[in-house]
Amino acid sequence: MTADLDSPLQKKIYIAGHRGMVGSSIERNLQAKGFTNIVTRTHAELDLTDQAAVQKFFAQEKLDEVYLAAAKVGGIHANNTFPAEFIYQNLMVQNNVIHQAFVHGVKKLLFLGSSCIYPKLAPQPMAEEALLTGQLEPTNEPYAIAKIAGIKMCESYNRQYGETHGIDYRSVMPTNLYGPGDNYHPENSHVIPALIRRFHEAKLANAPEVVIWGTGTPRREFLFVDDMAAASVFVMNLDKAIYDQHTQPMQSHINVGFGSDVTIAELAKAVSDAVGYQGKISFDPSKPDGSPRKWMDSGRLNRLGWNAQVGLAEGLNRAYAEFQQAIG
């Protein structure tokens, strides 16, 4: 039996950043749905900051859709230490991929941003309307500026070429993500992978106590990465009339969050439960807390018909199992 070449499952889909946590999850999601024509390139095979190389790639591949999940990412220390690299590399990747997608007839593109696009003191929960209403968090401003530029680039191409060329470029903004493919580096990881590693090592060493930085009172929202991938595919495939009905031409990005947040103390307890650490958890209030709260308003996405599926306890269990596999 021959494959139906007109089937939607035959669409040629490029995932930029397929080795990253979100990109790899999007690839798994599409494969599970039966998509068979997925295009990927490693950084060694295609440097997305190289305009000529990206132009050649798009000319050769003749793609139908693009998920733009490639980015230079890092924690506070990396953002503070390498601000020029963060703004330059992310702007170059976005400019090259979005523009060459347009030049070579790609009708649909999804750009993945970050919750750091919102002002440092944005009202909680942070709604899409908060974009460009105040100053950004200084430590990751260059990265945030690049991500804002990506949103505005998609919107600008839609406004200028949407009707004449039939393009439809969309943006999604994830909250804090965790799960398979995360970075568990002792110094450079985010809060959940850092806590998983610390509690795991404390369990192996039979340490009586684990001390967490700060007071434990700040609240954070966490989304399992497979939920983020599912939301990305959902938004990419929404009927255009419905998408347009829930967005505006110059405010078209959509937040993707879990829907509720937890304190760092509650998170630490949940991670210790997942790992099976039996000792005491204490806090060091002499260390910085960061923002008191970072919570995304996902109402727009919920009204479109999507909600997160993986709760924190289940997600942490799955993340810990993957961490154990990764370290052998």
Please state, in angstroms and as integers, the Cα–Cα distance from residue 207 to each residue in 43, 200, 277, 324, following that order. Answer: 40, 10, 9, 19
Residue pair 252/301 in contact (Cβ under 8 Å)? The answer is: no
What one-character DSSP code corresponds to residue 22? Answer: H
Q: Please state, in angstroms and rounded to a whole number, the distance separating the CA atoms of residues 310 and 322.
A: 16
> How far apart (Å, rounded) are the C-alpha atoms in residues 68 and 108?
11
| Gyration radius of the chain over CA positions | 20
Phi, psi (deg, nearest 5) at residue 251: -155, 65
**Residues 143, 178, 184, 320: which is the catalytic one?**
143
> Would you call 230 helix, strand, or coil by DSSP?
helix
Concerning whether 143 is annotated as a catalytic residue, the answer is yes
Contacts 24+ apart (CB under 8 A), 181-189: 181/20, 181/21, 181/22, 181/24, 181/25, 181/225, 181/322, 182/21, 182/225, 182/319, 182/322, 182/323, 183/21, 184/323, 184/326, 184/327, 187/77, 188/74, 188/75, 188/77, 188/78, 189/75
Q: What's the CA angle centered on 48, arms 155 and 32, to 5 degrees?
A: 75
Tokens of 12: 């040629």
How far is Cα of residue 282 from the mean position of the Cα atoms in its chain?
30
Encode burial over 179-199: b for 16+ CB neighbours within 10 A, e otherwise. Answer: bbbbebeeeebbbbbbbbbbb
Catalytic residues: 143
